[in-house]
Amino acid sequence: MSEETHKAETARLDLPEKAVELPVLHGTMGPDVVDIRRLYADGGVFTFDPGFTSTASCESKITFIDGDRGILLYRGYPIEQLAEKSHHLEVAYLLLYGDLPTAAELEDFEERITRHTMVHEQMHYFYRGFRRDAHPMAIMVGVVGAMSAFYQDSTDINDPEQREIASFRMIAKIPTIAAMAYKYSIGQPFIYPRNDLDYASNFLRMCFAVPAEDYEVDPIIARALDRIFLLHADHEQNASTSTVRLAGSSGANPFACIAAGIACLWGPAHGGANEAALNMLREIGTVDRIPEYIRRAKDKSDPFRLMGFGHRVYKNFDPRAKVLKKSADEVLGLLGIENNPTLQVAKELERIALEDDYFIEKKLYPNVDFYSGIILEALGFPTSMFTPIFALSRTVGWIAQWKEMISDPTQKIGRPRQLYTGPTPRDYVDIEYRS
């Protein structure tokens, strides 16, 4: 626990049987926290917060979000500045080690990542067990989980060196694994990574090159894709990161933890929203159909929600959505498809929603998933690859958060309790006496 969190202040909780004094801890930014670790021992009660809407699960120095002001910082650096001036592997270094690298540190880091981009040749056969029409996320969950069967020499989480090599392998190989999932789904041969390409260019080539001809990476597309990677790299204690931390708290190997994170990210309420958002925009199709979908989104009897809208933390614009909206204009303009109908529908949908009392009152704004799909589609990716690209990007954050948790000397296995409302004790009834 860092110094800032030791300031002595307390909160008094008056329970039916007794009063309990609980320490209040202060971070460097954001809300104070009431430390309830002694609450059950001293007060005999649990707290109750099923969606963790008011619960801090850990202390972290990696990413800070101010949802009311739409602020996102990676190790203190505003996401807008990083999106404009940095690139994904430099941000990966920042998230992992806490500071921007020197030129020499960055060169060494990128060289080490590059040297780990190939996967074990035997993994090619693992892919062949899937149906060709398997969703790439299903393949990624399986293949990443299986990495502990191929890289047993980096699964001992108590060995700092093995943790480091596992981290490099995971960040380096996830683009290769995602590209192989895509190639497998379209029946094309796998393309090996190349050491003379940067991270985003390598991924583009592994996805879109074919052995029959040379492939030139378009620098505009590579830069746009790298920015998408960077914007999705980390996001505090979101559902998939919390999944990685909880899996890691049992001592599970890092590959199994990242596979758990990929599985959680797949949900349409989380990372799966980028695929769902583009499918929704396509379904709406034209601007004149927007009012019908706004009405459905507000109708409690209709399960439809505006995908890519709303956020547990942001009650203002998601700063990533702002950057992506600007990037969508730039990239589609540079690619000569600025009149993309899906982008026009997205912009009009955003305009109408943000003037609607329902969305204003519930503070529902576009989130990171609202515009990302439009850019990814323009870059040539099918919707089935949108969430795998999110998972590829977030692997950096998951690894950074997992490393922070594992190296925290106060770390314990995560084991929440419950409010039990089931049957009270009763005796077994033999089957002949049951009615």
Q: Which of residues 296-355 bind ligand SDX (CB under 6 A)?
A: 297, 305-313
C-alpha to C-alpha distance for 340 and 326, rounded to whole angstroms: 14
124 annotated active-site: no
362 interacts with ligand SDX by CB under 6 A: yes
Only one residue has tokens 């890092």, namely: 254
Q: Which residues pair with 34 in a beta bridge?
A: 24
Total chain residues near ligand SDX (CB under 6 A)? 22
Nearest distance from residue 360's CB to ligand SDX, in Å? 12
Beta strands in 289-420 (DSSP E): none
Provide, rounded to whole angstroms, the least separation between the CB of residue 251 and ligand SDX.
Answer: 25
**Whether 400 contacts 234, CB under 8 Å:** yes
Is residue 311 annotated as a catalytic residue, yes or no? Answer: yes
Query: Do β-strands 33-34 and 19-25 pair in parallel, antiparallel, or remain unpaired?
Result: antiparallel
DSSP-assigned letter for residue 309: B
CB neighbour list of residue 311: distance below 8 Å, 6 or more residues apart = 67, 318, 365, 367
User: Which residue number, 110 or 369, has a Cβ lying nearer to ligand SDX?
Assistant: 369
Q: Of the two residues 120 and 362, which places its CB atom closer to ligand SDX in the complex?
A: 362
Instruction: Name the residue nearer to ligand SDX (CB basis): 101 or 310.
Output: 310
Find out whether 228 and 376 touch, Cβ atoms under 8 Å: yes
Which residues are registered as beta bridge partners of 33?
25
Residue tagged active-site, from 226, 234, 318, 369: 369
87, 226, 311, 318: the catalytic one is 311
Name which of residues 258 to 297 contact ligand SDX (CB under 6 A).
269-271, 273, 297
Contact letters for ligand SDX, residues 204-243 (x by CB under 6 A)? -------------------------------x--x-----
User: Rounded CA gap, 58 and 237, in Å?
Assistant: 8
Stretch that binds ligand SDX, among 29-37, 86-94, 367-375, 424-432 (CB under 6 A): 367-375
Amino acid letter at 351?
Answer: R
Side-chain-side CA neighbours of 294 within 13 Å: the count stands at 21
- Listed in sequence order, the DSSP H helices in 198-253 are 199-208, 219-231, 239-249
The arrangement of strands across the sheet holding 71-74 comes to 63-66, 71-74, 77-78
Q: Minimal CB distance to ligand SDX: which residue?
A: 310
Q: Which residue has the tokens 């120095």?
A: 61
154 binds ligand SDX (CB under 6 A): no
Q: How far is the CB of 396 from ligand SDX (least distance, A)?
A: 12
> Shortest Cβ distance from residue 242 to ligand SDX (Å)?
9
Q: Where are the alpha helices (H) located in 13-99, listed in sequence order? A: 39-43, 79-85, 88-97
* Count of positions (residues) in the chain: 435
26 versus 305: smaller Cβ distance to ligand SDX: 305
The H or E element spanning position 433 is: none
Does position 364 interact with ligand SDX (CB under 6 A)? The reply is yes
The verdict on 26 binding ligand SDX (CB under 6 A) reads no
Q: Is 367 in the site for ligand SDX (CB under 6 A)?
A: yes
Q: Compute the least distance from the CB of residue 379 to ligand SDX, in Å.
A: 20
The smaller minimum CB distance to ligand SDX, of residues 217 and 385, is found at: 385
155 sits near ligand SDX (criterion: CB under 6 A): no
**What does DSSP assign to residue 113?**
H
Residues of this chain that interact with ligand SDX (CB under 6 A) are 51, 235, 238, 269-271, 273, 297, 305-313, 362, 364, 367-369
- Indicate which residues carry an active-site annotation: 311, 369
